[in-house]
Amino acid sequence: MPISAPGALWVVPALPLLGFLVNGALALWRPTAKTAVSVVGVGVLVLACAAAVVAVAGFAGLHPAAPLVLRYWEWMPVGDLRIDFALQLDQLSAVMVLVVTGVGALIHVFSVGYMHEDAGYARYFAYLNLFVFFMLVLVLGASFPVMFVGWEGVGLCSYLLIGYWFNEQINADAGKKAFIVNRIGDVGFLIAMFLIFRATGSLDFGPVFARAAAVFTPAGATVTAVTLFLFLGCTGKSAQIPLFTWLPDAMQGPTPVSALIHAATMVTAGVYLVARCNVLFALSPLGSATVAGVGALTALFAATIALKQWDLKRVLAYSTISQLGYMFLGVGTGAYAAGIFHLVTHAFFKALLFLGSGSVIHAMHDAYHLTHAHDDAQDMRNMGGLRRYLPWTATLMWIATLAIAGIPPLSGFFSKDEILGAAFALGTAEPVWLVYWAMGMAAALLTAFYMTRLMLYTFHGPNRTGERERAHLHEAPWVMTGPLVVLGALSLAGGVLNLPELVGGKPWLEHWLEPVTALADRMRPVVELSPVVEWTLVGGAVLVAALGMVGAVRLLRPEALVAARLAPPETGLGRLLWKKWYVDEIYDAVIVRPVQWLTREVLWKTIDVRLVDGLLVNGSATTSRALGWLGSRLQTGQVGFYVALFVVGVLVVVGAALH
Amino acid sequence: MLLGPALGVSAALFTLGVFGVLLRRNAIVIFMCVELMLNAVNLTFVALAQQLGVAGQLFVLFVMAVAAAEAAVGLAIILAIFRHRGTVDLQNINLLKG
């Protein structure tokens, strides 16, 4: 092997870390040096992207069947446990690294325009660089603990960036919510790691997956527990039922953050984890079915909520949850390549949608700022007709909308269709998968509907921003629209990564990922659908997408909308959806309040105040004081008494010695 | 020779000293009783030196030297107490009372 590019893999995560250190130092001492911050912040990402391309190209040139593991130092040698800080490059992490650095670089460029007026510019880029570093550690880690470092690190950066404008209570609260909800999932991840170590005696990916088939009974209790706990971690990080509630609130952060962390990269970490542990999930049919079932349910559930949200970014947030559900349906079905394919295409079109919405919000915010109005710059009821003022953004967001709705030949169509096709294929043997497939189809219908609704209300119909504000609406600068154009091209053409053989294409991504999933693929039954059935499925999917879009155009009346502050309250089913099925309220009543009651009344007032403070701390003090009082009765102050005691003592000792 | 009576006298003197220390209140008298005990011990040393060698007699010299030093310090303390409190009755000196 020549001093190969893959050998210098550490450069890829090291560059964003360097960017974090420099920008962090600038944030502390020279927060006004915005040019330097831009150069460093964006530069390290572009360089990291280039380094990643070189590394992956070098890796692909080797055609390896096994992952390339690079050990840097011994991290935790404890007894039988030996954990090295090691990075691993294989086909799966290669895909992830390219997505993270590529989409990340585009979003960094966009941020230069979006955040330029912000006082905390350097702090923002420091956090964003740090996030990319941790994300790269997550996808490149060669063992569960190294991955967990990245896993926790991205959670930290997510918290920091959601609460980036921490002066407002609502933003700080949203950050805390994300952190705490994620912590619940992390416990699952940790328990899964303990179980894996107990069973296999290792935490490195290589040995664990190699021994898995030997140490775990297929469909046994241990492996099912491992997969379910791992999946609990995924539900937290990837916002699936029941831990999805933090993601919509996470929209309080700056919009590029929503695009990078809460759409394209971090939230897909759970999908990556399931795909990474494909051997374990293949050994546990129940675990896989749970992943797929929760994914399908989340896809449908979140899509219903997205139907009635007015906040531009909240629609996209629920859309993200829904699309993540698709990815879990894919990896749960065993179609790992399809799940990862959807992850990649989703990163393209959802980042585009979020950045597009950022461009819209940027324009709206500027307009309201210049006229000193206090209306909501993110409420779609305050928008309308924006395509006249933001033609580039409108066009590009339409591309992304068509992609996410699943209109051929855009990227989203291929990836979503493959997932649904895989679920249907399993359904021919076990009917429960048909239910998942049907839920996916229903979610596809809703996806097409709510995305068309978003576009209609935002860009079409009459403008509702206000007379004075209208004059200030403008397209974003090129530094913001440039990344949008690139993402638009990727959303358009992303499908070529994995064209199905049905249309005479080459499933390139599937072939590329084969070394990673080979072990799991052998454990699963292969169901081949006849071309007729496949064409029917494709036709059905396209029909459903078209139905959703046409339905939205026919049913919705953008011209009947009024601005947010004049809008009547929602009623009936619309209110239920607008209130997000009251999930937050239910969690509040069932979990948060009982826990608060328990902590206040039992843990604090009873256990802490009465038991610990009262009985143990003050009780022991009182006891020793009482004993001391008894002892002090001996201290008469009469020297004669002391001497008498002394003599008695001597006599006793002498007497004892004589006997 | 005469070891038994000598030890008996010294035991009697020592007991006298102990009871004096225990029962008397005047610091000067107690001090004198302490001296009595020291000299009782000296007598024992001398008596036993007849049988056990000259070391006992040597020790008596040490005891006398220490007793002289102790007398100087002890009397000075008693004098200081008298100046301070106007009495040397130990009944009234009970700062150590708990």
Distance CA A247, CA A174 (A): 9
Task: Give A211's Cβ-side CA count (13 Å radius).
Answer: 14
Q: Tell me the percentage of chain A whose pLDDT exceeds 90.
A: 68
pLDDT for residue A149: 94
A609 contacts A619 by C-beta, under 8 angstroms: no
User: What's the DSSP call for residue A387?
Assistant: G
Instruction: Decide if B98 is inside a domain.
Output: no
Q: Which of A625, A627, A635, A639 to mutate to test the interface with B (most CBs of B within 10 A)?
A: A639
Distance CA A271, CA A344 (A): 11
Residue type for position A36: A
Nearest to A68 by CA among A44, A93, A49, A85: A93
| Residues ≥6 apart with Cβ < 8 Å to A397 | A352, A353, A356, A357, A455, A458, A459
pLDDT for residue A42: 94
Q: Which letter, b or e, does each residue of A96-128 get, where b requires 16 or more Cβ atoms within 10 Å of its Cβ?
A: bbbbbbbbbbbbbbbbbbbbeeeebbbbbbbbb
Top pLDDT among B93 and A629 is at A629
Angle between helix A221-237 and A144-162 (nearest 10) = 30
pLDDT exceeds cutoff 90 at B25: no
A245 contacts A587 by C-beta, under 8 angstroms: yes
Interface check for B94 against chain A (CB to CB < 8 A): the answer is yes
Q: Tell me the percentage of chain A whose pLDDT exceeds 70.
A: 99
A231 contacts A280 by C-beta, under 8 angstroms: no
User: Does A638 sit within 8 Å of B98, measured CB to CB?
Assistant: no
The reported pTM is: 0.81
Instruction: Decide if B62 is inside a domain.
Output: yes
Query: CA A235, A238, A239: angle at the middle one, nearest 5?
Result: 70
Angle between helix A531-555 and A431-459 (nearest 10) = 30
User: Pick from A635, A640, A644: which is nearest to B97 by CB?
Assistant: A635
Domain containing B30 equals 3-92
User: Does B96 sit within 8 Å of A640, measured CB to CB?
Assistant: no
Residue type for position A308: K
User: Does A640 sit within 8 Å of B25, measured CB to CB?
Assistant: yes
How many residues in chain B? Answer: 98
Residues of B in contact with A643 (CB under 8 A): 21-22
Model confidence pLDDT, tens digit, residues A140-197: 999 999 999 999 999 999 999 999 999 999 999 999 999 999 999 999 999 999 999 9
Residue A284's pLDDT band, with cuts at 50, 70 and 90, is very high
What mean pLDDT comes out for the span A406-429? 90
Q: Which of A634, A638, A645 to mutate to test the interface with B (most CBs of B within 10 A)?
A: A638
pLDDT for residue A5: 56
User: Pick from A631, A636, A647: which is nearest to B97 by CB?
Assistant: A636
Instruction: Decide if B46 is inside a domain.
Output: yes
CA distance B91 to chain A (A): 6
Nearest to A166 by CA among A128, A195, A125, A124: A124
What mean pLDDT comes out for the span B39-66? 90
Residues of A in contact with B91 (CB under 8 A): 638
Model confidence pLDDT, tens digit, residues A64-118: 888 889 888 889 888 888 889 999 999 999 999 999 999 999 999 999 999 988 8
Q: Which residue of B has its CA nearest to A645?
A: B22
* A615 CB neighbour count, 10 Å cutoff: 11
* Residues in A 589-648 with any Cβ partner in B closer than 8 A: 631-640, 642-644, 647
pLDDT exceeds cutoff 80 at A1: no
| Residues ≥6 apart with Cβ < 8 Å to A4 | A58, A62
User: Does B21 sit within 8 Å of A635, measured CB to CB?
Assistant: no
Residue B23's pLDDT band, with cuts at 50, 70 and 90, is confident
Residues of A in contact with B21 (CB under 8 A): 640, 643
pLDDT for residue A6: 66
Residue type for position A656: A
Instruction: Decide if B20 is inside a domain.
Output: yes
- What is the distance in angstroms between the CA of the first residue and the CA of the last residue of chain B? 51
User: Does A640 sit within 8 Å of B22, measured CB to CB?
Assistant: yes
The 3-state secondary structure of A416-480 reads HHHHHHHHHHHHCCCHHHHHHHHHHHHHHHHHHHHHHHHHHHHHCCCCCCCHHHHCCCCCCCHHH
Distance CA A288, CA A143 (A): 22
pLDDT for residue A2: 40
Instruction: Decide if B97 is inside a domain.
Output: no
Average pLDDT, chain A: 91
pLDDT for residue A3: 43
Top pLDDT among B64 and A76 is at B64
The full DSSP string for A341-369 is HHHHHHHHHHHHHHHHHHHHHHHHHHHHH
pLDDT for residue A659: 86
CATH number assigned to the domain comprising residue B31: 1.10.287.3510
Residues of B in contact with A633 (CB under 8 A): 98
Top pLDDT among A275 and A564 is at A275
The 3-state secondary structure of A254-310 reads CHHHHHHHHHHCHHHHHHHHHHHCHHHHHHCHHHHHHHHHHHHHHHHHHHHHHCCCC
User: Pick from A631, A632, A640: which is nearest to B90 by CB?
Assistant: A640
How far is CA B29 from each of CA A470, B24, B34, B70, rounded to the nearest angstrom? 112, 7, 9, 15
Residues of A in contact with B23 (CB under 8 A): 640
pLDDT for residue A499: 85
Top pLDDT among A265 and A558 is at A265
Structural domain total, chain B: 1
User: Pick from B23, B90, B98: which is nearest to A639 by CB?
Assistant: B90
pLDDT exceeds cutoff 90 at B39: yes
Model confidence pLDDT, tens digit, residues A329-377: 999 998 999 999 999 999 999 999 999 999 999 999 989 988 888 888 8
Q: Could you give the 3-state DSSP secondary structure of residue A217?
A: coil
Instruction: Decide if B65 is inside a domain.
Output: yes
| Residues ≥6 apart with Cβ < 8 Å to B2 | B47
CA distance A648 to chain B (A): 11
Residues of B in contact with A635 (CB under 8 A): 96-98
pLDDT for residue A501: 80
A243 contacts A184 by C-beta, under 8 angstroms: yes
| Residues ≥6 apart with Cβ < 8 Å to A626 | none
Model confidence pLDDT, tens digit, residues A385-398: 899 999 999 999 99
A481 contacts A393 by C-beta, under 8 angstroms: yes
Interface check for B93 against chain A (CB to CB < 8 A): the answer is yes
Model confidence pLDDT, tens digit, residues A485-536: 999 999 998 888 888 887 777 888 888 888 888 888 888 777 778 888 989 9
CA distance A183 to chain B (A): 57
